[in-house]
Structure 1
Amino acid sequence: MKGQAASEFHDFFEQHHAELARLAHLLTGEADAADDLAADALLAVWHRWDRVRAADHPAAYARGILANLVRGRIRSAVRERRRVALFWARHPEHVASPDVPVVVDVQEALRRLPFRKRACVVLRHAFDYSERDTALALGVSVGTVKSQTSKGMAQLEQLLGARAVAELAGGKK
């Protein structure tokens, strides 16, 4: 039975590692940390594999673990002022004008959003998840996803301009 569980987890890992790393990169803005966070999330999934594989949505469970790891990482950074200052200093704003979409640095704008808004916007628009799947991944209600996505998109519109946000959202806001 252990061999079967290991095989199932291996298949799960192969199927979802890249997606989790991409999600971690978009949520943190740190390419170097993305693989580590995805690996940590998958290690946590492995430790709970019996429970995860019995879940209705194992991938959503893994995304939830990843979101919690990212949230913890961000909270730690906030507590340490020096790290926060270094983090923001490494990412200067590249936007000359919010009305010029060609010059806009989308990752910088996403970094300016609070975690929950950023997570909702990224999952809904970059990953094209439904409101329900986003809610499952973040452990929040569908109503929270709707409100946080709306507020996040409005904040991005202030930072990037309406035209750029319409392009990012693929015409749907």
Structure 2
Amino acid sequence: MVFDDASAEFHDFFERHYAELSRLAFLLTGEADVADDLAADAMLALWHRWDRLRGADHPVAYARGVVANMARNRTRRAMRERSRIRVLWAGRSERIDEPDLAAGLDVRAALARLPFRKRSCVVLRHAFDLSEKEAAQALGISVGTVKSQTSKGMAELRRLLGGQASGDLVEEGFSGRRPRASAPGR
């Protein structure tokens, strides 16, 4: 297969960054299959803009922003859908209690409970070791917002994890090891 320069550059970009973008999507959504889909969709969007992006200073930062926006939009759609379902089931007399998540709470479950912006800041800062400035660029927010949301997110994770050494747990949770899609309880 013969590539022109742009195609070869994009192919190289894809090979170097797809796994990272998929990992970012996984940590933002908590769903392995969704993460792969989001990373693929983001790469497709990047390919359509590659002529403009290939000369950019930080195309990876732009790609992270695309993934974060796609994950946020997916989360919003899911929340709207859950709200619609709740309204439909509100009139029923039988109720199903929420499962007791506290008993088996791990870092990924705790992350899933954080609001999207806090989760994004914590993931980009701690899982991807981005600077506050890089995280701000990826999310399209100010450095001060990244600082405050990261601090608040980490405090909330400590609270959710029951006072355990959250720094160590967060590092384990961000190790990049994703459970298999068929793994029970994940």
TM-score computed with the length of structure 1 as normaliser:
0.84
Q: Aligned AA for 2:20?
A: E
- Do structure 1's residue 8 and structure 2's residue 19 form an aligned pair? no
Q: What per-residue deviation string (whole Å, max 9, x for no partner) do you get for residues 11-37 of structure 1?
A: 000000000000000000001111110
Q: Which residue of 2 aligns with 1:161?
A: 162
- 2:129 match: secondary structure: coil
1:41 aligned to 2:42? yes
- Conserved? CA contact 1:93–1:108, under 8 Å: no
> Is the Cα–Cα contact under 8 Å of residues 121 and 152 in structure 1 kept in the other structure?
yes
Displacement of 1:74 in angstroms is 0.6
Match of 1:99 in 2: none
Cα distance in 1 between the residues matched to 2:166 and 2:85: 27
Say if 2:81 is the partner of 1:69: no
Check conservation: 1:77, 1:84, Cα contact below 8 A. Answer: no
The 1:160–1:51 alpha-carbon spacing in structure 2 relative to 1, beyond 3 Å, is: same
- Gaps in structure 2 of 5+ consecutive residues: 87-95, 172-186
CA distance change for structure 1 residues 168 and 124 in 2, over 3 Å: closer, same or farther? farther
Q: Is the 8 A contact 2:107 2:170 kept in 1?
A: no
| Residue equivalent to 1:100 | none
Would you say 1:147 and 2:144 are equivalent positions? no
- Does the 8 A contact of 1:37 with 1:66 survive in 2? yes
Ranked by relative contact order (alpha carbons within 8 Å, sequence separation 6 or more), the top structure is 2
**Mind listing any 5+ residue stretches in structure 1 that lack a counterpart?**
97-102
How big is the alpha-carbon RMSD for the aligned residues of Structure 1 and Structure 2?
2.1
- Give the C-alpha shift of residue 50 in structure 1: 1.4
Q: 1:84 to 1:7 in 2, by over 3 A?
A: farther
Instruction: Assess if the C-alpha contact under 8 Å between 1:78 and 1:84 holds in 2.
Output: no
Kindly provide the amino acid, as one letter, of the partner of residue 8 in structure 2.
S
Deviation (angstroms), 1:162: 3.5
CA offsets per residue over residues 122-154 of structure 1, 9 Å max, x none?
111111111111111111111110010011111
Q: Percent identity at matched positions?
A: 67
Structure 1 stretches of 4+ with a deviation exceeding 3 A read: 82-85, 91-95
Deviates most, 128-137 or 36-45: 128-137
TM (norm. structure 2) is 0.78
How far 1:61 moved relative to its partner? Answer: 0.5
Match of 1:31 in 2: 32
Partner of 2:164: helix, strand, or coil?
Answer: helix
8 A Cα contact 1:157 1:165, kept in partner:
yes
Q: Deviations over 1:26-65 (max 9, x none)?
A: 0000011111100000000000001211211000010011
Contact 2:125 2:135 in 1 (8 A): yes
**How far apart are 1:93 and its partner, in Å?**
4.9
Q: What letter matches 2:61 in structure 1?
A: A
SS of the residue corresponding to residue 117 of structure 1 reads helix
Matching residue's letter, 2:108? Q
Structure with the higher fraction of residues in helix conformation: 1
What's 2:131 paired with? 130
Per the alignment, in what secondary structure is the counterpart of residue 163 of structure 1? Answer: coil
